[in-house]
Amino acid sequence: MTKFIVLPSSITTSKHGEQIVSTYPSHIVYSTFYFTCIEYHFVSSAGTSNVGTCIENEKKALLKLKENLTDSSGRLSSWIDQENCCQWHGVTCDNKTGSVVKLDLRNQLSRNNGLGGEINPSLLELKKLRYLDLSMNNFGGVKVPEFIGRLKELRYLNLSGASFSGSVSSFLGNLSNLQVLDLSFYSEKPPENDLEWLRGLSFHEHLNLGGSDLSKVADSWLHTINNHSPSLLELRLPQCQLLKLPSSFPSLRLSSLLVLDLSNNAFNSSTFPEWMFELSNLVHLDLNSNNIVTELPDEFAKLSSLEYLDVSSNYGIKGPLKKSLGRLCNLKTLILSYNSISGDITDFVDALSECQSNSLQLRFNSLTGTIPESIGDLSSLETFYLTSNKMSGNLTPNIGQLTSLVSLDISDNMWEGIVTEAHLLNLSNLQEFSVGMTLGKNITLTFNISRNWTPSFKLTFLTIQSCQLGPEFPHWLKDQNELTSLIFNTAGISDAVPDWFEDLDLKLDKLDMAYNNLSGNVPDKFRFNFLANVDLSSNRFEVPLPLWSSNITSLYLRDNLFSGPIPVNICEALPNLTDLDISHNNLNGVIPLCMDMSQNRLSGQIPGSLGSLAYLRFLRLSGNNLSGEMPSSLRNCTRMISIDLSNNQLSGLIPSWLGETMRSLLILSVRNNRFSGPIPLKVCSLSGLHILDLSENNLSGSIPSWVGNLEGFKAELTSAEASQYQGKLKLEAKGRILYYDTILYLVNSIDLSSNSLSGEIPVEITSLSKLGTLNLSGNHLTGTIPTDIGNLGSIETLDLSKNQLSGPIPPSLTTLDFLTHLNLSYNNLSGRIPTSTEFQTKDDPTIFQGNDALCGPPLQQCSNGGTTISGGGMDDDGETDDEDKLEKIWFFAFAGLGYLVGFLVFFGTLIFKKSWRIAYFRFIETCILEFHEWFWNFLQKWLGCLMSKRKKHLRRR
Spatial CB neighbours of 359, under 8 Å, sequence gap ≥ 6: 19, 332, 333, 334, 335, 381, 382, 383
Residues in the chain: 957
The burial class, CB within 10 Å (0-12 / 13-18 / 19+), for 334 is buried
Cα separation, 232 vs 252, in Å, equals 12
Query: What's residue 173's pLDDT?
Result: 84
Query: What's residue 867's pLDDT?
Result: 45
Tell me whether the omega of the peptide bond preceding residue 455 falls within 30 degrees of 0, making it cis: no
Cα separation, 383 vs 436, in Å, equals 18
Higher-confidence position of 102 and 250: 102
> Average pLDDT of 531-545?
90
Chain CA centroid to CA 840, Å: 39
Query: What's residue 816's pLDDT?
Result: 86
Higher-confidence position of 392 and 842: 392
Higher-confidence position of 184 and 914: 184
Least confident of 605-609, 863-867, 892-896: 863-867
Query: What's residue 480's pLDDT?
Result: 95
871: confidence class by pLDDT, cuts 50, 70, 90: very low
Whether the pLDDT of residue 681 is over 80: the answer is yes
Whether the pLDDT of residue 27 is over 70: the answer is no
Whether the pLDDT of residue 590 is over 60: the answer is yes
Report the amino acid identity of residue 944.
G
For the chain, what is the mean pLDDT? 83
Whether the pLDDT of residue 448 is over 80: the answer is yes
Whether the pLDDT of residue 808 is over 70: the answer is yes
Least confident of 183-197, 270-284, 788-802: 183-197
Query: What's residue 720's pLDDT?
Result: 62
> Average pLDDT of 441-456?
89
Burial 816-847 (b: 16+ CB within 10 A, else e): beebebbbbbbbebbbbbbbeeebeebeeeeb
Whether the pLDDT of residue 472 is over 80: the answer is yes
Closest to 352 measured CA to CA, from 380, 321, 333, 328: 328
Cα separation, 30 vs 22, in Å, equals 11
20: confidence class by pLDDT, cuts 50, 70, 90: very low
Query: What's residue 550's pLDDT?
Result: 87
Cα separation, 795 vs 772, in Å, equals 4
Cα separation, 909 vs 503, in Å, equals 112
Query: What's residue 912's pLDDT?
Result: 66
Query: What's residue 458's pLDDT?
Result: 96
Cα separation, 644 vs 725, in Å, equals 12
Spatial CB neighbours of 893, under 8 Å, sequence gap ≥ 6: none
Query: What's residue 4's pLDDT?
Result: 33
Cα separation, 388 vs 385, in Å, equals 9
Neighbour order of strands in the sheet with 318-319: 318-319, 340-343, 366-367
Find out whether 153 and 127 touch, Cβ atoms under 8 Å. yes
Query: What's residue 948's pLDDT?
Result: 64
Name the helix (H) or strand (E) containing 897. Answer: helix 881-912
> Average pLDDT of 883-906?
69
Query: What's residue 481's pLDDT?
Result: 94
Higher-confidence position of 228 and 343: 343
Cα separation, 332 vs 742, in Å, equals 39
Mapped onto helix, strand or coil, the DSSP state of residue 915 is: helix
Whether the pLDDT of residue 514 is over 90: the answer is yes
Report the amino acid identity of residue 759.
G
> Average pLDDT of 292-306?
93
Q: What is the pLDDT of residues 668-680, one digit of tens each?
A: 999 999 999 999 9
Q: What is the phi-psi region of residue 652: left when phi exceeds 0, alpha when psi lies from -120 to 50, beta otherwise?
A: left
Residue 43 is given by DSSP the state G
Percent of the chain with pLDDT over 90: 49
Q: Which long-range contacts (CB under 8 A, 24 or more apart) does 477-485 make?
A: 477/501, 477/504, 478/454, 478/504, 479/454, 479/455, 480/455, 480/504, 481/505, 481/506, 482/458, 483/459, 483/508, 484/460, 484/508, 484/509, 484/510, 484/529, 485/15, 485/460, 485/461, 485/509, 485/510, 485/511
> Average pLDDT of 171-190?
89
Residue 786 is given by DSSP the state P
Residue spans of alpha helices (H) in 359-399: none
Higher-confidence position of 917 and 474: 474
List, as one string, the DSSP characters of 546-612: P---TTEEEEE--SS--EEEPPTTHHHH-TT--EEE--SSEEESB-SS-SB--SS--EEEPPGGGGG
Higher-confidence position of 600 and 259: 259
381: confidence class by pLDDT, cuts 50, 70, 90: very high
Higher-confidence position of 268 and 160: 160
Count of CB atoms situated within 10 Å of the CB of 438: 15
Whether the pLDDT of residue 715 is over 90: the answer is no
Whether the pLDDT of residue 618 is over 50: the answer is yes
Cα separation, 187 vs 917, in Å, equals 109
Residue 723 is given by DSSP the state T
Whether the pLDDT of residue 474 is over 70: the answer is yes
Least confident of 199-213, 707-721, 780-794, 935-949: 935-949
Query: What's residue 876's pLDDT?
Result: 41
Whether the pLDDT of residue 587 is over 70: the answer is yes
Residue 308 is given by DSSP the state E
Query: What's residue 586's pLDDT?
Result: 85
Q: What is the pLDDT of residues 319-341, one digit of tens each?
A: 999 999 988 999 999 999 999 99
